Amino acid sequence: MNSLDLPKPPHETRVVVAMSGGVDSSVVAGLLKREGYDVVGVTLQLYDHGAATHRKGACCAGRDIHDARSVAETLGIPHYVLDYEDRFRESVIDRFAESYLSGETPIPCVECNRSVKFRDLLGMARDLGAEALATGHYVASRPAPGGGRALYRALDPARDQSYFLYATTPEQLAFLRFPLGERPKDETRALARELGLTVADKADSQDICFVPQGGYADVIAKLRPEATRPGAIVDLEGRQLGEHQGIVHYTVGQRRGLKLSVGEPLYVVRLEPETARVVVGPRAALATRRIRLTDLNWLGEGAPEALTDLPVAVRVRSTREPRPARLSWNAAEAYAEVELAAPEDGVSPGQACVIYEDDGPRARVLGGGTIRRIGALQAGAAEAA
């Protein structure tokens, strides 16, 4: 086996590298080229460059395409730019807007990986005769005990991107490789300098790529003007405390920007798109113990339908560490249910709940799903939709 766990010498193994124009994917291409692989670089043009062309912190924009092409020239590898704007708009941007309109808080990076990069681009890699598609994500992939490949948290906990890759299917994992999953970020930048890459000190992408300056509400308002329908801000009993200019400006757990003077801190508890109401309450009202998941992607052993009170760890936001929980499958209504060992604040419909084998730093990713409904913990309250 070669370094990618493929049964051929590197020079007989073609690998397509998804090159975003950043330092991580550029180093992946450079490392594989140095090891003797037949490397082909591919960059996706995902959206109209417009205001994002020269914006720091973006990816897949005009500057990044130029940088990816420059790196490919330095490495002496073929490089292709694929126009995926239409499919990105339909699969990611439109769904992003619809989700906000429904009172959810979506994660477009998950959908981009699921429906564009690891579906369409992976198919293109196969068409190019590749035996693997390599990316610059910080996540680890290793052969699974029962066959196939398993996904694990990255060596560098500060860079771990497993939360955004839970939706990768077993079939996709068999073809994907993540060479940076076992490296710390500072080593990646050192390698970029060693390889003579001009992007060695380039800033990492941070914002949603198609949202200039992080102003997602403006983007959604252009796509779905109804998202800015004014409405009432009410407390848990339905009493009006103020007004708002569209639920798109709010997310569950938000405290700032409510512009209410009631003498105590209030947080957004839930959004009601049908009535355009923003429901607020004390922080205690955010405590959540039970979470209902739909669109479950299962990467663990066995079938998800057999899950019964399985001890796991779950992550309900990308910025939080996995917390102990138990996982079960509701056969009657075909959804997964997570019961947290301790309540979490700010669990929001539309976000991902990622499931790990345990809460260790190198834990295996067992899958995840979309949070659709949560169980509240207010003084004996029933579920809050």
Round to whole Å and give the CA distance between 185 and 155.
10
Round to whole Å and give the CA distance between 294 and 49.
34
Question: Binding site annotation covers 22?
Answer: yes
Is 209 one of the catalytic residues? yes
Question: Binding site annotation covers 44?
Answer: yes
Q: Which residues pair with 280 in a beta bridge?
A: 268
Question: Binding site annotation covers 1?
Answer: no
Of the residues 59, 60, 109, 112, only one is catalytic, namely: 112
Is 112 one of the catalytic residues? yes
Question: Binding site annotation covers 25?
Answer: yes
Instruction: Kindly state the tokens that stand for 215.
Output: 């102003």
Question: Binding site annotation covers 18?
Answer: yes
Instruction: Kindly state the tokens that stand for 65.
Output: 């395409």
| Three-state secondary-structure class, residue 346 | coil
Question: Binding site annotation covers 231?
Answer: no
Question: Binding site annotation covers 136?
Answer: yes
Question: Beta-carbon neighbour count of residue 339 at 10 Å?
Answer: 14
Q: Which residues pair with 41 in a beta bridge?
A: 17, 79
Report the alpha-carbon angle 17-18-23, nearest 5: 95
Round to whole Å and give the CA distance between 266 and 264.
6
* Count of all residues that appear for the chain in the document: 385
Of the residues 59, 60, 109, 209, only one is catalytic, namely: 209
Do 47 and 89 meet the contact criterion of CB atoms below 8 Å apart? yes
Cite the annotated binding site by residue number: 18-25, 44, 136
Indicate which residues carry an active-site annotation: 112, 209
Cite the annotated binding site for ATP by residue number: 18-25, 44, 136
